[in-house]
Structures are given as structure tokens and as C-alpha cells.
Amino acid sequence: MKNIRITKEFTFETGHALYGYDGKCRNVHGHSYQLAVTIIGTPIETPGEVKLGMVMDFGDLKEIVKEEIVDPFDHATIFNKNTPHVALANTLAAEGHKVILADYQPTSENMVLDFASKIKTRLPDNIRLHSLKLRETGTAFAEWYASDNPE
């Protein structure tokens, strides 16, 4: 078998606040996130196939990640739905701002877990999500690997 990994990178701007945190990140602030999505599969070998030699068309992967992650999160503010910031979130939403109330504390670690579950459900059966790397700043990132998360 000839498994190959391919990676597509994405950027988006998202604000958040960490409820209960003991540092500056308890305040509403934002990041220019960079997300690297790596999938693994066997290149198509069927003669005459328009995507011959591809594990997956980068455009198809882009469409999935754009619909599941980039479009919803770009220029949104994400809050833990159990935070006292819910009043602020509701005010922002009522004024037309993009707000996400998540079931988790919006750390890079939890966001990358959320992203992995969303992307995995959209991949074709012959393609597996290999890893995600979510860069929050130039020096800080969270990574998710399928090998660390057996199902």
C-alpha cells in the first residue's frame, strides 16, 4: 500500500475569552489562527480517473475545512456556553456580531479536538485524518494526531 499524507493550511481570525482563567486570557481578545490539516490515503490509480494520482483534491479538502471551520469561526467570538460572558455574547449576537457558544472552554487544545471531530465526519471512507496543528500565535500551538486518539 502506498499511503501518502497531504496537508492544506488555512488562516482565520477568532476572538475568545477563557472563563475562570487566572491570566490575561480571561479577557476577550483575538488571534490570527493558522490551521494545518493533514490527511492520509492512497493516491487514485484508476486509469482515466480525473483525479488520477491524488490522495484527495486539495480543493475538496479546502471545501470541507472552509465549511466546517473557517467560515463559522472566522471573525467570530467564541465563548464557553457556561461562562458569565453569555450576557455579553447575547448582546453581541443581537447587534449582528458572529458569536459561537461552545460546549467547551475555547482553548487551542479544545478547539483542535472540536475541529478533528468535525473534519473526520466529512472525509471519504478511503481517507483518514492524520493530524491537525492549530497555531494560536507565532510561538504557541496545539496538535492533534489520530495515532494519539484511537477510536
75 is catalytic: yes
Q: Are the C-beta atoms of residues 41 and 126 closer than 8 Å to each other?
A: yes
Q: What is the pLDDT of residue 151?
A: 77
Which of the following is catalytic: 9, 25, 29, 63? Answer: 25
**Which pLDDT band holds residue 99 (cuts at 50, 70, 90)?**
very high
130 is catalytic: no
SS3 of residue 19 by DSSP = coil
Mean pLDDT score, 86-98: 94
Whether 1 shows a pLDDT value over 80: the answer reads: no
Q: Please name the amino acid found at residue 33.
A: Y
Between β-strands 99-102 and 4-16, what pairing exists: parallel, antiparallel or unpaired? unpaired
C-alpha cell at 71: 467560515
31 is catalytic: no
Residue 120 makes CB contacts below 8 A (sequence gap 6+) with 129
Whether 42 shows a pLDDT value over 70: the answer reads: yes
Q: Is 50 exposed, middle or buried (CB count within 10 Å of its CB: 0-12, 13-18, 19+)?
A: exposed
Q: What is the pLDDT of residue 85?
A: 84
Which of the following is catalytic: 29, 63, 75, 97? Answer: 75
**Which pLDDT tens digit goes with each residue over 55-83?**
999 999 999 999 999 999 999 999 999 98
Which of the following is catalytic: 16, 68, 85, 136? Answer: 136
**Which pLDDT tens digit goes with each residue over 107-150?**
999 999 999 999 999 999 999 999 999 999 999 999 999 999 98
